[in-house]
Amino acid sequence: MPDPVYLDHAATTPVRAEVFDAMQPFFGPRFGNPSSVHRWGREARTALDEAHERVARCLGASADEVVFTSCGTEADNLAVLGIWRARRAEGRRAVVTTPIEHKAVLAAVHEVTREGGDERLLAMTRDGLVDDSSFDKLVTEDVAICSVMWINNEIGAMQRVPDLAERAKARGVVFHTDAVQAFGKVHIDARSQKFDLLSLSGHKIGAPKGIGALYVRRGTPLEPLMFGGTQDRGRRPGTENVAMAVGLARAAELAVAEREHEWKKLEALRDRLERGLLEKLPDAVIHGRGAPRAPHITNISVPGTDSESLLMALDLRGIGCSAGSACQSGSVTPSHVLSAIGVPAELAGSAIRLSLGCLSTEACVDRVLDVFPMLVEKARRLQTA
């Protein structure tokens, strides 16, 4: 079998060599606890402080505005629940978000409703953008927090986050964006952009799984999710994961430095992929294609096929990609994102997400262009048989 082709970078990416090297010492001689007063502690503290500064620099922020978390999901939970719990006493009892958020935000918002808050979901256009009039209607003076993901992880739709943040702030609403897919793709600058909180995740940008961060603008009220020590100003108690924080800092720096080059590279590959697929499968539908979107995600439905069978068949031929969001059991469930942007269930049931990244080359794309249409033809033959 030819070399396997990994087209699931939106799920996770391999740890970069530079990142691995940067973390190495902290699994060895520099093992100290940053809270200790002795030299070992000092060494670790130095690395951790620098990691805060380095991540902050990547965001146009100050070091004290960066909270390290265990993952993007924790960052999202801390943002949504932390703000809601801090602000409910002000009489701001509503939380606004989109129906296409990652489950990390959606489930946290559901938790808010269990705690007595109101959940408001923005209307979406068919291309996966926030509907403007819906935003104006729902984001009102009684809203604690509005959370809108910058780049959607399933279809790549890119929201006008700076503009939405500005409008939310005008109504005293704290604005959060899940930038897990956006970091390293779009220009992010907390000085010129008005978001109050921003989540990111290490393993989408070449750092290991198990590290994320939340940017929290100075002066933003935030309740912690956990209780314990005073690490990170009490916002995130627990001994800091120094090695991973250093890894995230390195990965973030690389991602920012390579951002524009990476965008062009991925966009060219994606266009080659989409052009090739549409040529061979003229009735295929690429979701969210009509709106501004990220360069690394293609979500395609081919009528007459089903995601589950295609994913299996692709995997058995060495091509790894995904469909919808995986349920806990690992089975494929219909995508809440596609249904939220009005894709009919039947079409959504054939959706496949191909996501490009550091491992992607023209040869990978061409391999998919060979195999994918062939599997589709076969699936259709079986369907009609």
Among 17, 37, 89, 327, binds another protein (CB under 8 A): 327
Asked if 382 touches another protein (CB under 8 A), the answer is yes
Complex with another protein: residue 99 or 221, whichever CB lies closer: 99
Quick one: which segment of 53-61, 191-199, 234-242, 307-315 binds another protein (CB under 8 A)?
A: 307-315
With beta carbons less than 8 A apart as the criterion, state whether 49 and 63 touch: yes
Among 309, 318, 347, 371, binds another protein (CB under 8 A): 309
Asked if 379 touches another protein (CB under 8 A), the answer is yes
Quick one: which segment of 150-158, 169-177, 194-202, 374-382 binds another protein (CB under 8 A)?
A: 374-382
3: three-class secondary structure by DSSP: coil
Asked if 62 touches another protein (CB under 8 A), the answer is no
Asked if 330 touches another protein (CB under 8 A), the answer is yes
Asked if 331 touches another protein (CB under 8 A), the answer is yes
Structure-block tokens of residue 222:
């935030």
Cα–Cα distance measured from residue 99 to residue 121, given in angstroms and rounded to the nearest whole number: 6
Closest by CA position to 117, among listed 144, 77, 149 = 144
Asked if 371 touches another protein (CB under 8 A), the answer is no
Give yes or no: 327 in active site: yes
Complex with another protein: residue 89 or 327, whichever CB lies closer: 327
Complex with another protein: residue 117 or 247, whichever CB lies closer: 117
Question: At closest approach, how far in Å is the CB of 3 from another protein?
Answer: 18
Residue type, 179: A
Cα–Cα distance measured from residue 301 to residue 99, given in angstroms and rounded to the nearest whole number: 20
Q: Which residues pair with 66 in a beta bridge?
A: 215
Cite the DSSP H helix spans in 281-361: 307-316, 336-340, 345-348
- The values of phi and psi at residue 116, to 5°, are 105, 5
- The values of phi and psi at residue 299, to 5°, are -120, 115
Cα–Cα distance measured from residue 188 to residue 185, given in angstroms and rounded to the nearest whole number: 9
Complex with another protein: residue 192 or 331, whichever CB lies closer: 331
Cα–Cα distance measured from residue 382 to residue 385, given in angstroms and rounded to the nearest whole number: 5
Asked if 219 touches another protein (CB under 8 A), the answer is no
Asked if 380 touches another protein (CB under 8 A), the answer is no
Complex with another protein: residue 46 or 325, whichever CB lies closer: 325
Structure-block tokens of residue 364:
């990978």
Complex with another protein: residue 230 or 384, whichever CB lies closer: 384
Asked if 107 touches another protein (CB under 8 A), the answer is yes
Question: At closest approach, how far in Å is the CB of 102 from another protein?
Answer: 13
Among 312, 361, 370, 374, binds another protein (CB under 8 A): 312
Burial class (CB in 10 A: 0-12, 13-18, 19+), 186: middle
Catalytic residue among 71, 146, 327, 364: 327
Asked if 384 touches another protein (CB under 8 A), the answer is no
Planar angle of CA 45, 51, 54, nearest 5 degrees? 140
Cα–Cα distance measured from residue 99 to residue 128, given in angstroms and rounded to the nearest whole number: 10
Cα–Cα distance measured from residue 364 to residue 265, given in angstroms and rounded to the nearest whole number: 14
Asked if 325 touches another protein (CB under 8 A), the answer is no
Q: Give the binding site for another protein (CB under 8 A).
A: 103, 107, 110, 306, 308-310, 312-313, 315-316, 327-333, 378-379, 382
Positions marked catalytic: 327
